[in-house]
Copies of this chain bind each other. A is one copy, B any other.
Amino acid sequence: MALPNGPVTASSEAEAVLFDLVDVYDRAYEAAAAELSLSPAQACVLGRLDERRGMGALAEELGCDASNITQIVVRLEALGLVAREPDPRDRRARLVGRTPRGDEVNQRFAEAFTFARTAVGRLSPDEQDQLTALLRKALG
């Protein structure tokens, strides 16, 4: 399991709860991916492929190196969850998209990752709005 990204010493209760939230969220994400024998990175990439797109676009969207994406996509392709096709508009580029099996696995992942849904579901609609507003403000 990935180590938590959190300082032990929080200078306020709000900070401490924030850390808890992030930690639990990350672990839940990882666990949901593991249920489907995926790494978190694989689940992430798979989730971005509702539409076909180029490798570069994916890398930029995810904020990482293109060669990183190549590797992850290669593994997803080996699992039969993703397919790469030549881009008819640009023969340098390759478009990635989910296969039907990829769609299915992605769907099952979305069902397995219940954390955010469950957490928000514990709040009333009003509280959800409050939380959204507060977090937006906190994010600046």
**Chain A contact residues, CB within 8 Å of chain B:** 1-15, 17-22, 24-27, 29-30, 40-41, 44-45, 47-48, 50, 62-64, 110, 113, 116-120, 122-123, 127-132, 134-140
B14-A131 in contact (CB<8A): yes
15 A-B pairs (CB sep. < 8 Å): A2-B41, A4-B44, A4-B63, A5-B25, A5-B40, A6-B47, A7-B47, A13-B132, A14-B120, A17-B139, A18-B21, A18-B116, A19-B116, A119-B139, A120-B138
Known contacts A22-B21, A138-B122, A3 near B40 by CB under 8 Å: yes
Closest CB in chain B relative to A70 CB, distance in Å: 13
A139-B21 in contact (CB<8A): yes
B5-A117 in contact (CB<8A): no
B5-A132 in contact (CB<8A): no
CA distance A109 to B136 in the complex (A): 25
A5-B24 in contact (CB<8A): no
